[in-house]
Amino acid sequence: MKQKILIPVLLLLCVWMAPLAAKVTEVPVDQLHPTREQRQATLIILKVIDKYHYKQQRLDDGMSNDILERYLEALDPNKSYFTQRDVDQFGIYKDRLDDDLRQARLEPAFNIFRIFRQRLDERVAYAMDLLNKDLDFTVDEKYRFGREDAPWPKDRTALNELWRKRVKNDILSLRLGGKEEDKIKDILRERYAGLKRRTHQLASNDVFQTFINAYTLSLEPHTSYMSPRVSENFDISMRLSLEGIGAVLRSDSEYTEVLRTVPGGPAALSGQVKAGDRIVGVGQGDSGEILDVVGWRLQDVVDKIRGAKGSVVRLRLLPKSEGADGPTQVVKLVRNKIKLEDQAAKKFIIEDLGGMGSTRIGVIDLPTFYRDFRGQSEGDKNFRSTTRDVRKLLKELTAEGVDGVIIDLRSNGGGSLLEATELTGLFIPSGPVVQVKDSSGDVEVEQDPDPALVYEGPLGVLVNRNSASASEIFAGAIQDYGRGIIIGEPTFGKGTVQTLVDLGRFVRTGGNKMGRLRLTMAQFFRVNGGSTQFKGVVPDIIYPSALGSDEHGERGLDNALPWARIDSAKYRAGSLGALDPYRARHEQRIRKDPGFQYLSEEESLLAELRSQTTVSLQEQKRRKEWTGREDRRKQDKNRFRAAMGLPPEPEKDANANDDADTTAADEKEADNIRSIGLNEAARILADYIHDQQRRPTMAQAAGE
């Protein structure tokens, strides 16, 4: 199922922004109309996109229909407010929005939004009324919660039936999640009332941003408009980008989902916040009430998580591995400065590992591609950078006598293109690293700037589905040159380049009311001519945990740019030889490995959850299904913990207002899970090294 990005992803570095977190009042419906600045911004956006966007797509009637569909999806992603009759009435716009945009006529978007607000008010009133009634949970009926691909409800009667089931599902989910019975309806009353309240707080700029992004998403997922308020948030985030909890969030239907954590941030360092987790509650301090945030706007959730350095925020998380009615956990985070040292490359050595003999493998853990541009511009000759740090670590590992090196890029979301290029140069003598094609078709080749070869020994690169952008450039180049073995999961597939365009620069006055455009203006291509976009980098040896990667990253985004190819750059590739023997040994090993068995079981359970679109509303049956799934999850987890010499997983109290400190066993479990893939990568590289060491002897014997 394709994921529809409805709101631009927010980099939640959670800086202190008290002025922007001030109380927002309800916006009267008669104030919801387009402004002069929005009309100006529309014309500028269209011109910039027409001239500089990489895709070069014509704004015509076909695209007009796409814009309308995406705008309705943005307002009503789960098809729970509009009826088919409403959608049919909106059909008068399907061939007109292209012309309206060119003329900066924005009234259709505001007309649709006013109807949406009315429909939402009607649904909230109906849901509130249902909470006052006794609902029958003995009836064997199903609720379809995944409605992205469902038809629109035919009429109000069908919508009432949908909401009757939705309210029953909300009650059951809270029951199974461990909420106290006398509090469940109060939680839902506040949830529904909050839904209405936050919708009534949406102002003209919010409507405009949602509509323009329906247009930009009709091009591809990474071009988006930021309103003046969102632009201001972005500026402050960048100026103070090293302070906060460090998480990238996005809106996914009614949930706020963690897209990734920022290396060195409190979220990542806690080990308890993971990509795919959903934030369902936010509390302030050690004991403040945890507010239910299901159904909240992304920006409103961000405002609750923000706070001053040193202050505490508590997140109630619904783990990725759980269904909507699964048990939650509370994680306490202290907002803090993200230190460069926590993001910097680190080294260690794997030795005395079963199956490796005396082979010693050096590991360089690289969380991000960083470069201190400020220090460099100020003339600091010792400014920190990825390449400088890795160069030093490689020399240290060589001096320590390692037999091979693994670069661990798992969950490395990218960073500096310059660093990806220079880092590749440490492992190849010279040559091109990546090609960049712009919207005019011109191709620029980024070259290794330093002919010095720092490390020429056996090399492995470990990646996963969250390795993106600069990570993919490095891994792709190493693979194209035949310089090292790529191991793990297919990568994210982020192969496009974005730039920020300040729309205010195009007007003489009122520029601060225009906002910004995040514009896709180029695409990366590997030296072999293939793009990293969409497909990502496919490892030479793929782990079984890659089962769900087909729907992850760019491959899981609606309307993502496809894979493409250009001419190969001129480069001299080496060869690792046939890798089939190492692949076969790897597959034989992991069949009996408790770690890989656990990862496969977890991925299988996640695949089942992803494919599920309905749940039973019969409480006894639902509880049995939930208990069965939870028992299966615990059995899988405890089997793995037992193999690692750890006690069974402790029971979690979903109603606790405080999280217990992470136990030593939990920390050890997290380390063991992360080491599953790394240890196997070390064994794979050790197999390769052993064969390389035997080859000269065999050749010599043949010569004799």
- Active-site positions read 469, 480, 494
Tell me the three state secondary structure of residue 247: strand
Helices (H), 331-385: 340-343, 373-377
Tell me how far apart the alpha carbons of residues 227 and 234 are, in angstroms, rounded to a whole number.
10
| CA nearest to 117, candidates 50, 46, 196 | 196
| CA nearest to 335, candidates 208, 247, 429 | 247
| CA nearest to 216, candidates 67, 340, 41 | 67
Calculate the alpha carbon distances from 429 to 419, 446, 447, 650 in Å: 16, 15, 11, 52
Asked whether the beta carbons of 79 and 147 are under 8 A apart, the reply is: yes
Tell me how far apart the alpha carbons of residues 387 and 426 are, in angstroms, rounded to a whole number.
8
- Phi then psi for residue 225, to 5 deg, are -100, 140
Tell me how far apart the alpha carbons of residues 432 and 418 are, in angstroms, rounded to a whole number.
13
- Phi then psi for residue 579, to 5 deg, are -100, 0
CA quadruple 465, 313, 22, 261: dihedral, nearest 10:
-10
Structure tokens at 55: 């895709």
Gyration radius from the chain CA atoms: 27
Strand partners, 212: none
Burial of 532 (0-12, 13-18, 19+ CB in 10 A): buried
DSSP 569: P
- DSSP letter for each residue of 361-395: EEEEE---B-B-HHHHHTT-TT--BHHHHHHHHHH
CB atoms within 10 A of CB 474: 29
Contacts of 604 (CB under 8 A, 6+ apart): 547
Tell me how far apart the alpha carbons of residues 370 and 368 are, in angstroms, rounded to a whole number.
6
Angle at 480 between CA 476 and CA 485, to 5 degrees: 75
